Chains A and B, each alone.
Chain A
Amino acid sequence: MQKTKTTVMIVYILFLMIPIYWLINMSLQPNRDIIGSFTLYPQNLTFDNYRRIFTESGWAAGYLNSLTYVTMNTVISILAALPAAYAFSRYRFIGDKHLFFWLLTNRMAPPAVFLLPFFNLYQSVGLFDTHIAVALAHCLFSIPLAVWILEGFMSGVPKEIDETAYADGYSFPRFFIFIFIPLIRSGIGVAVFFCFMFSWVELLLARTLTSVDARPISVVMTRSISATGVDWGMLAAAGVLTLIPGALVIYFVRNHLARGFALGRV
């Protein structure tokens, strides 16, 4: 039994890792080798592809822009979702179920056409090409997810805790910040992970709402690629560079994830 499980896990992880390995492998080869000879590992190891990317302008700024709006989005989503999730987990109120389903429907709008009104909307309120515009637009799908995740964790906290705290003379804000939030901090960790994830990988909205000052990394990447034609080595190197922030985030939240997943339903 245990053996089968381990084997399945290993096979699955190999399936996930081999394409990524291949990407890294290609990024470390000169183009001549990629096309000329098929090798399972780089025979003429080179960092030229990376060097060329870093000497081109825009990369560092692109990284910084992406991280800025992703962080803003995560903070806004969590702050707004905390009270809402509390309301959903503790109270019944008019239209609560419908509100919840409506929040979910916001993921369903096909982006291609909605991009134009988004562009016009943010232009008309003077936010076009700012980080906060992308952060607010991404709230559309990160907030519903955060509410849903946090609601699950909050429902796991017995209601008696609220009542005891009020009986002890805690005001609501004091109870919420000093007692309740520490109880669900792993849940917050999981919510942070999902908000970060969906905002980091989203491309269409981020590209539409920015031009120069807030241009995200994935756009910088596509531009430098199309400018040089099909350059496999550089394409691979650029791909590897966009993987790093995600990998770092998972690494830092791994214990929260493990604990959060152990605690309650996501």
Chain B
Amino acid sequence: MDWMYWTPPTALFFVAIAMILAGMTVWEVVSPTGMRRGFLPLQTTRGDRLFIGLLTSAWFHLAWLGLSDFHPAYMTVACIGWLIVVLRWG
């Protein structure tokens, strides 16, 4: 595993992603989702909304890094909020 050049922040990142996926799977088994329409312009299931949330979060981070000089952690906090909003009302 040494050649993978692990660092604590990236390890944390992947653990977080894995836990989100595991959590979503459990949630899905406990209470299955259906298609529904929120503020996003298309019908989505819970899994779709998670994907949209994560992908847009990645893009928000890139925009943050490209356009501002602030630390990315501010954006990460904002994106967690965004993820919750998309999952709940998207």
Contacts and interface: CB of A to CB of B under 8 A. Distances in A.
A94 B4 contact: no
A120 interface: yes
Nearest to B33: A94
Interface string B1-19: 0011000000000000000
Chain B interface residue bracket vs A: under 10
Query: Main secondary structure on chain B at its contact with chain A?
Result: helix
Where chain A touches its partner, the secondary structure class is: helix
A98 B47 contact: yes
Interface string A78-102: 0000000000000000110110000
B25 A95 contact: yes
Residue of A94, A97, A120 contacting most chain B CB atoms (<10 Å): A94
A232 B60 CA distance: 51
Contacts, number: 16
B3 A95 contact: no
A233 B25 CA distance: 60
Interface in B35-87: 47-48, 51
A117 B47 CA distance: 30
Given A95-B47, A98-B47, A98-B51, A124 B3 contact: yes
B33 to A, nearest CB: 10
B28 A94 contact: yes
Contacts of A94: 25, 28-29
Given A94-B25, A94-B28, A117-B4, 8 more contacts: A95-B25, A97-B47, A98-B51, A117-B3, A120-B3, A120-B4, A123-B3, A124-B3
